[in-house]
Structure 1
Amino acid sequence: MNKIELLAPAGDLEKLKAAIDYGADAVYFGGEAFSLRAGAGNFTEEEMLEGIKYAHDRGRKCHLTLNIFPHNEDIEPIQKYLEHIKDFGIDAFIVSDPGTIMMVKEIIPNAEIHLSTQANMTNYMTARFWAQYGVKRVVMARELSLEEMRGVRDMIPAEMDTEAFIHGAMCISYSGRCLLSNFMIQRDANKGECAHPCRWKYSLVEEQRPGEEFPVEEDERGTYIMNSKDLCMIEHIPDLIASGISSAKIEGRMKSAFYVATIVGAYRKAIDAYYKDPENYKFNPAWLEEVKKVSHRDFTTGFYYGKAGNESQNYASSAYTRDYDFVGKVLDFDEATMIATVEQRNKMVLGDEIEVFGPYTDFWTQKLDYLKDEEGNDLESAPHPQQILKIRMDHPVKHNFMLRKRKEK
């Protein structure tokens, strides 16, 4: 049985390392241009080389997003960019545009091409078309059901892979082809600058009554008529695998390293548990509770079990649920003293109850009863961003373990 690939977002080098450490089989990231995520940290060439080495040294893969729809003025810069990075060792290029596919194939003849979800691949005939032009993998549109994905898998060449999003934000527009942001505030969604106007609050105005607003009411605050819940398929791993997809993709290049580590870690446990004993696999509710500990909207299964309806929308608010704060990342650990060197990410106070978690481990809860600064001075609190701290641990930890605490109500 070929094991499904767990593909994680890497908005910057820290997130790439977190994804790899917490169990991703592959990561996808963008360079400083052409990748549809202008708001992500993205990678300089030096960071890209370091990230690729980090992944390859651990037997993982790196996919580069090159999925804008270029205009004439973009062609020469893309060609120069490809010439510059062609020997970096990138495992695959995620591309939307036929012209860009042609440029990649001309400049890097052996490149593996993955068709981006932006290309709206919704049927097996389209997949067959792209197979003729050397596309190795198709990232299927979010609007497909599991049954439709199985149908695509059964009707395309055996050597072609399929990939699908399994977790993260959903777009109100058909696989991201939205012009609202361009129209309303001149931020080009297909150049990575989407302002997410689908999350905004709207009212109705009648043509002959300018300035007189009629709320589209769900409650007294109005409504968020285009605000989708977040996709979450962690409870449905067997169905995802039965659909025949080769790669399960997590959305979130603009999310934090804490988000990436938490989501990847939870899905890693669920996927590994399935493959360990498929016949007796049982979902562990703790995995769902884990993914709820990062900033998220309410969850939906999207289109996987049929057309998404009202239950997939959140009409009351576009706000995230944030029950936990990411408070620190372990840099080093002295097993003899059980003292960890921790980089602070949010305020901690002596006496706090914190949770500690790491790759391939279950979290534990402990009281913060030992808190010192880098020079060994006792602290009552750690309010300074990225302050280096000394914290005693109840159990051994390693580099890249993380600390979180529940927000006070």
Structure 2
Amino acid sequence: MNKKPELLAPAGSLEKLKIAVKYGADAVYLAGKSFGLRARATNFSESELLEGLHFAHINGVKVYVTVNILAHNPDIDRLPSYVRWLQTAGVDAVIVADIGVLSLIKEHAPGLEVHVSTQANVTNFKSAEVMKKLGASRVVVARELSIDEIAQIRQKADIEVESFIHGAMCMAYSGRCLLSSYMTGRSANRGDCAQPCRWSYHLVEQQRPGEYMPVESDDRGTYIMSSKDLMAMEFLDKLVYAGIDSLKIEGRMKSVHYVATVVNAYRQALDSIYNGEEFNSSKWIAELKKASNREFTSGFYHGKADHTAQNVHSTKGDTEYDFVGIVQDNSDQKKHAIIEQRNHFSQGEEVEIMMPGGIIKKAAIKNIWDEEGNVMEKAPHPQQLVKVALDTDVKEFAILRREK
């Protein structure tokens, strides 16, 4: 069997970084306040990035920083000082889409490892070879490739290969889209996508202005460009055998619950493959469905994606569980914990607890107290800190969720 691939998780904020690390990521990717393609994620100030780097590194986890905008001239003027700072800070790699940016990094921060973003549309081994000659150590291949095509790139090009395995899919080719810029003035290729592909649409005939016709018989319109979410768990073992070096989860804009659930599921599944256990994907697919998703598709991994990869009925994700809280501290007593509330919960409720290390178990909330020690029947306020008595032990960073 090939070496175990890296599990690469999204970190849209410092909290999400810590969750990804604790739930089993080998590496995380994030953005500073500039030059990344998720401008509306929380992203990291310099002090937060340094704190995140320290937390990740003491836990043996790598940190990659996105510098993957399609740069314009003013960006080029501002980049040298930024990439020099990233090198000094000790980030493990930067992710770039623009070959001019790649060249600039090699000139001003030669110690930085460079990974080429999926935005660069690497779809063949010759492109991968060119990226290596330019100084890249890894390519994030385009999402439009099959397992066999990715395996051939890995075999023929002497460069690491990273591929997306889970998360939102873009209706444009590897994310290169002008819809947002055209319709809202917010450029997707500069990190500010408004996601108009997720909006509801009707048709209008040129000679009949104001007469809107639904594409399907639905008074909400239709989401004709909205893709289902990618999910590769069903054939994760085949991706391992293809020799992919890094398996990437999309989702810097997603919730803490999403990051914990998805990273945990893929971590346990990968470990089971390498432990020689029978690969039971259905178990982990059921777990993935507990996080918000727009239904699942295998994307292009088995060949060209067809109409079944689109969800024309809705743009919103759905989940079978509500995220109700996260354990901030359990140092008082094993069965008592400080919980940060994320959704209302009440004394006597049954919840499911997911903990770092893959432990998932049911528990009952026996008592609730506020920060002054007053007894509460329920925790109704968002992000309120409460002390909770449970009928089982918990760990810091444990996630409490409730079946709908």
Normalised-by-shorter TM-score class: over 0.9
Alignment of 1:73-92 (within 5 A): 73-92=74-93
CA drift at 1:353: 1.6
* Residue-by-residue CA offset, 1:136-174 (whole Å, 9 max, x unaligned): 0000000000011011111111xx100000000000000
User: How far does residue 14 in structure 1 lie from its aligned partner after superposition?
Assistant: 0.5
What is the CA distance between 1:208 and its match in structure 2?
1.4
Instruction: Report SS of the residue matched to 1:19.
Output: helix
Q: CA deviation at 1:219?
A: 4.4
The separation in 1 between residues aligned to 2:20 and 2:244, in whole angstroms, is: 20
Counterpart amino acid of residue 65 in structure 2: L
Q: Name the counterpart of 1:172.
A: 171
Supply the AA of the counterpart residue of 1:296. N
Instruction: For 1:106, give the aligned amino acid.
Output: E
Residues 325-344 of structure 1 correspond to what in structure 2 (within 5 A)? 325-334=322-331, 336=333, 338-344=335-341
- Note closer, same or farther for the CA distance 1:316–1:83 as it changes in structure 2 (3 Å cut): same
How far 1:109 sits from its partner (Å)?
1.0
Q: Which moved more, 1:242-251 or 1:314-323?
A: 314-323
Letter in 2 for 1:267: Y
Give matches, 1:5-154, under 5 Å.
5-154=6-155
SS of alignment partner, residue 74 of structure 1: helix
After the TM superposition, which of the residue ranges 30-39 and 315-324 deviates more from structure 2?
A: 315-324
Distance in 1 (alpha carbons) for counterparts of 2:113 and 2:333: 47
Q: Is the 8 A contact 1:3 1:275 kept in 2?
A: yes
Q: Are 1:197 and 2:188 an aligned pair?
A: no
Residue identity over aligned pairs, in percent, reads: 50
Provide the C-alpha distance between the structure 2 equivalents of 1:222 and 1:348, rounded to a whole number of angstroms.
Answer: 35
Q: Give structure 1 stretches of 5+ with no counterpart.
A: none
The CA distance in 2 between the partners of 1:284 and 1:149, in whole Å, is 22
| 2:285 is equivalent to residue 288 of structure 1 | yes
Residues of 1 paired with 2:295 and 2:281: CA distance? 19
How much has 1:221 moved relative to structure 2?
A: 4.0
Q: Partner letter of residue 74 of structure 2?
A: E
Q: Report matched runs for 1:206-285 at 5 Å.
A: 206-217=205-216, 219=218, 221-277=220-276, 280-285=277-282
Give me the TM-score of the superposition, normalised by structure 1. Answer: 0.96
The residue type equivalent to 2:79 in the other structure is I
Q: What is the total number of aligned residue pairs between the two structures?
A: 403
Tell me the amino acid that sits aligned with residue 186 of structure 1.
Answer: G
Query: Which letter does structure 1 place at the counterpart of 2:181?
Result: N
Report if aligned partners of 2:364, 2:390 keep a CA contact under 8 Å in 1: no
Instruction: Name stretches of at least 5 consecutive residues in structure 2 with no aligned partner.
Output: none
Aligned residue identity for 2:340: E
Q: Is 137-146 or 100-109 further displaced after alignment?
A: 100-109
Please give the alpha-carbon distance, in whole angstroms, between the structure 2 residues aligned to 1:291 and 1:214: 36
In the TM superposition, what is the alpha-carbon distance from 1:60 to its structure 2 partner?
1.1
CA distance in 2, matches of 1:135, 1:84: 19
Tell me the distance in 1 between the aligned counterparts of 2:332 and 2:290: 28
Indicate whether 1:396 and 2:393 are aligned.
yes
SS of match in other structure, 1:363: strand
Deviations 1:384-403 (A, max 9, x none): 12222111222222111111
Counterparts of 1:220 and 1:385, CA distance in 2:
34
Distance (Å, rounded) in 2 between the aligned partners of 1:331 and 1:148? 44
Partners in 1 of 2:202 and 2:377 — Cα distance?
Answer: 48
Q: Which of 289, 295, 298 lines up with 1:298 in the alignment?
A: 295
AA matched with 1:26: A
Closer, same or farther: CA 401–337 of 1 in aligned 2, 3 Å: closer
Asked if the contact 2:200/2:220 (under 8 Å) is kept, the reply is no
Calculate the aligned-residue CA RMSD, in Å. 1.4
Judged with a 3 Å threshold, the aligned counterparts in structure 2 of structure 1 residues 153 and 85 are, in CA distance, closer, same or farther, namely closer
Q: Deviations over 1:182-214 (max 9, x none)?
A: 001111111111111111111221211111222
Q: In structure 2, what is the Cα distance between the partners aligned to 1:60 and 1:18? A: 12
Structure 2: distance between partners of 1:238 and 1:337: 37
